[in-house]
Amino acid sequence: MTGSSTRALRGRLLSFRDDPAVVGAESYDFIEDGLVLMVEGRIAEVGAAEEVMPRLDAATPIDHYPDALILPGFIDTHIHYPQTQVIASYGAQLLDWLERYALVEEQRFAEPEHCAQVAAFFLDELARNGTTTAMVYCTVHPQSVEAFFTEAHRRNARMLAGKVLMDRNAPPGLSDTAEQGYADSKALIERWHGQGRQLYAVTPRFAVTSTEAQLEAAGTLLKEFPDCYLQTHLSENHREIETVRALFTWAESYTGVYERFGLLGPRSVFGHCIHLGESERRLLSDSRSVAAFCPTSNLFIGSGLFDLARAKDPAAPLRVGLATDVGGGTSYSMLSTLAEAYKVLQLQHQNLPALQGFYRITLGNARALGLEDKIGRLAKGGEADIVVLDAKATPAMAHRHARVETLEEELFLLMTLGDDRAVRATYIAGDPAHSRAAG
């Protein structure tokens, strides 16, 4: 599918070319009065409005946002669509939270109609928050994946998702077998991977809920379909780590379990990665695997603080994505996620400047997913997923904005006080997907 329309957006354009932490001021392009032309789902032209507008067809509609910021759509590298009705569930750490809330809720996804309803809500909510691509966990039920990809494909949204694999330590209603999980996943890959903008992620929930046979089957799927992704969880919680140690007594580490079955690699995204040992960091670094930093979840469930400075250690640098982790995470908003990431790092005497934050939720996350040639930038030929931000969206933001003097100050305002209300509009493949004025 491609976008159906030709449309131009005019306003203040911001797009990153590289990581501000590495190249500084040369990392981004900012055009005070710019224009993006979108044709058939892609960016056909981008530049100063005075240069691009004379070349437009007179019939081209122009959505003008003179006071807003126009950026690439936000990207979320770790989120659970079946957990939308257990977000904000009180008072438990990881394994208890899963047992009391998440695994109970996920059993409802045996019903295809329920899957379809929640998938529609979830994708609406992402668009409302300016998120145009996400790496998504479904449930153990194949119908949950069918419903999700069907709805995402209908909207022409670029999504990555997969059927959860669990063949032990799970309720009967959420348990499969190594053989069935493999067969279901293979069928879903053949149906959906590369269908339109959909991409498949092989998805063992975590080592606690998969036997060696199932992890081996996951590795087999990655060998058979090497352009698929892998998503799972790693070293989120101390009790989780102890459980993995007891289940896999032969393993030198939690990460070593995944390494044994061929699950590490540049398309593998591991949620959390808080309590890693040095040998684990080296395994992840050497394989170019990705750690998903999920600040609101880590704080809410009490798992710990992600050490970004350590992840940048030149001896074993980690590729890092930023993520909401709804429903353990407490907000769909990547802006709110940036705010909590800033606080997590402050508690460790680290910082997150605004330019680095916005790089991470656009081009940075696109790079983490290996999709920087498609999304994450306002660049000719790229896919036209775009968010429009209003730094004066609330009275408090407008009041603070009166003292803003620089772009970086405006971005920091957005990442500390902003949420879904700051998203004025979202475009997916060139078509309007959300407008605040339209509700």
Tell me the C-alpha distance between 154 and 152, whole Å: 5
Alpha helices in 37-177 (DSSP H): 49-52, 94-97, 103-106, 112-128, 142-155
Q: Any idea where the domains of the chain sit in the sequence?
A: 6-73+376-435, 74-332
Asked if 316 contacts 351 with a C-beta cutoff of 8 angstroms, the reply is no
Averaged pLDDT, 221-241 = 97
- Tokens, residue 200: 């498949």
pLDDT number for residue 134: 98
Q: Is the pLDDT of residue 2 over 80?
A: no
Comparing 89-98, 162-171, 320-329, the range with the smallest average pLDDT is 89-98
Angle at 270 between CA 267 and CA 275, to 5 degrees: 145
Averaged pLDDT, 176-183 = 98
Architecture of domain 74-332: Alpha-Beta Barrel (3.20)
Tell me the C-alpha distance between 93 and 88, whole Å: 13
Distances (CA, A) of 388 to 30, 76, 332, 413, 419: 14, 17, 17, 15, 12
Fold of 6-73+376-435: Urease, subunit C; domain 1 (2.30.40)
Q: Is the pLDDT of residue 1 over 60?
A: no
- Helix 142-155 × helix 112-128 angle, to 10°: 40
Angle at 233 between CA 373 and CA 205, to 5 degrees: 100
CB atoms within 10 A of CB 421: 16
Tell me the C-alpha distance between 200 and 173, whole Å: 23
- Tokens, residue 189: 């890959």
Give tens-digit pLDDT for 324-382: 999 999 999 999 999 999 999 999 999 999 999 999 999 999 999 999 999 999 999 99
Measured torsion, CA atoms of residues 16, 133, 237, 219, in degrees rounded to the nearest 10: -110
Q: Using 50, 70 and 90 to split pLDDT, how confident is the model at 135? A: very high
Q: Which of 311, 310, 216 is nearest to 259 (CA)?
A: 216
* Prediction pTM value: 0.97
DSSP summary character for residue 11: E
Amino acid symbol at 428: I
Percent of the chain with pLDDT over 70: 99
Q: Which of 30, 75, 70, 43 is nearest to 364 (CA)?
A: 75
Percent of the chain with pLDDT over 90: 95
Q: Using CA of residue 310, residue 314, residue 319, residue 320, what is the dihedral sign?
A: positive
Domains 6-73+376-435 and 74-332 share a fold: no
Q: Using CA of residue 376, residue 381, residue 383, residue 386, what is the dihedral sign?
A: positive
Q: Which of 148, 145, 149, 229 is nearest to 181 (CA)?
A: 145
Provide the b/e sequence for 55-85 (b: ≥16 CB within 10 Å). Answer: ebeeeeeebebeebbbbbbbbbbbbbbbbbe
Q: What is the rounded average pLDDT for all residues in the chain?
A: 96
Give tens-digit pLDDT for 88-97: 999 778 888 8
Residue 85 phi/psi, 5° resolution? Answer: -105, 10
Q: Which of 134, 87, 140, 148 is nearest to 326 (CA)?
A: 87
